[in-house]
């Protein structure tokens, strides 16, 4: 005779999700009563200590009080470039990521040239591209395309085509 499956059984992910929901419900009930929830995220991660440096407001509350315009101003201060976004969640996320050092800060470089552009497709063997990418990384380039542009520019200079090289190299 087969065993009847218990309703409490499930995958590890399901059990984890149930625990997370239970923890959130307990925290919400504790907030209603005016008490700190046991084992909440602020206590575990030390978030309040970090946010004290940023104005003394714990966790996510410091963002609630800021308007979208204030967030955009803070975005410019932290990232060093303007944004056209008015999505509060994106602005808060991007500012936090900049504070953590997870996103590039400073003005972004745009196209090397103005006007229409055409794409050039070149095919190589995968083994060659692996070696090429390793060479680009060794030479300090972050992208394959940047390395290719540099090589084309230097090749044009060697052949006496300085004007073309200047256009490629920027």
Cα 165 to Cα 92, 119, 137: the distances in Å are 42, 18, 22
Q: 63 and 33 in one domain?
A: no
Domain that holds residue 34: 13-45
Q: 24 and 68 in one domain?
A: no
Cα 64 to Cα 56, 89, 99, 110, 115: the distances in Å are 14, 11, 18, 33, 43
For 65-119, how does the pLDDT look when each residue is reduced to its tens digit (9 = 90+)? 889 999 999 999 999 999 999 999 999 999 999 999 998 888 877 666 677 888 8
- Is 2 inside any structural domain? no
* Distance from C-alpha of 126 to C-alpha of 26, rounded to nearest angstrom: 54
Cα 24 to Cα 21, 27, 32, 42, 83: the distances in Å are 5, 5, 12, 13, 34
- Is 115 inside any structural domain? no
Residue 16 pLDDT grade (very low, low, confident, very high; cuts 50, 70, 90):
confident
Q: 104 and 66 in one domain?
A: yes
Contact between 156 and 168 under an 8 Å Cβ cutoff? The reply is yes
* Distance from C-alpha of 115 to C-alpha of 94, rounded to nearest angstrom: 31
Q: 66 and 33 in one domain?
A: no
Q: 92 and 65 in one domain?
A: yes
- Is 39 inside any structural domain? yes
Residue 144 makes CB contacts below 8 A (sequence gap 6+) with 129, 132, 133, 136
Out of 80, 108, 136, a domain closes at 108
Radius of gyration of the chain (CA): 27
Residue 28 pLDDT: 77
Total residues belonging to the chain: 170
- Is 5 inside any structural domain? no
**What one-character DSSP code corresponds to residue 103?**
S
Q: 130 and 104 in one domain?
A: no
Contact between 62 and 52 under an 8 Å Cβ cutoff? The reply is no
- Is 7 inside any structural domain? no
For the cut 60, the answer to whether the pLDDT of residue 55 exceeds it is no
Q: 59 and 37 in one domain?
A: no
Number of domains in the chain: 3
Task: Give backbone dihedrals phi and psi of 106, rounded to 5 degrees, phi first.
Answer: 115, 170
């Amino acid at each position: 005779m087969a065993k009847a499956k218990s309703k409490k059984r499930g995958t590890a992910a399901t059990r984890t999700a149930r625990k997370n929901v239970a923890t959130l419900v307990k925290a919400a009930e504790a907030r209603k009563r005016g008490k700190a929830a046991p084992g909440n995220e602020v206590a575990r991660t030390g978030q309040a200590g970090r946010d004290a440096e940023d104005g003394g407001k714990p966790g996510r509350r410091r963002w609630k009080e800021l308007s979208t315009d204030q967030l955009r101003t803070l975005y410019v201060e932290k990232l060093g470039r303007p944004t056209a976004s008015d999505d509060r969640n994106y602005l808060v996320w991007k500012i936090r990521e900049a504070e953590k050092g997870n996103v590039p800060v400073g003005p972004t470089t745009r196209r090397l040239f103005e006007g229409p552009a055409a794409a050039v497709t070149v095919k190589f063997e995968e083994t060659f591209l692996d070696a090429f990418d390793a060479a680009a990384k060794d030479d300090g380039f972050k992208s394959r395309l940047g390395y290719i542009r540099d090589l084309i520019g230097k090749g044009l200079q060697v052949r006496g085509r300085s004007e073309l090289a200047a256009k490629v190299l920027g």
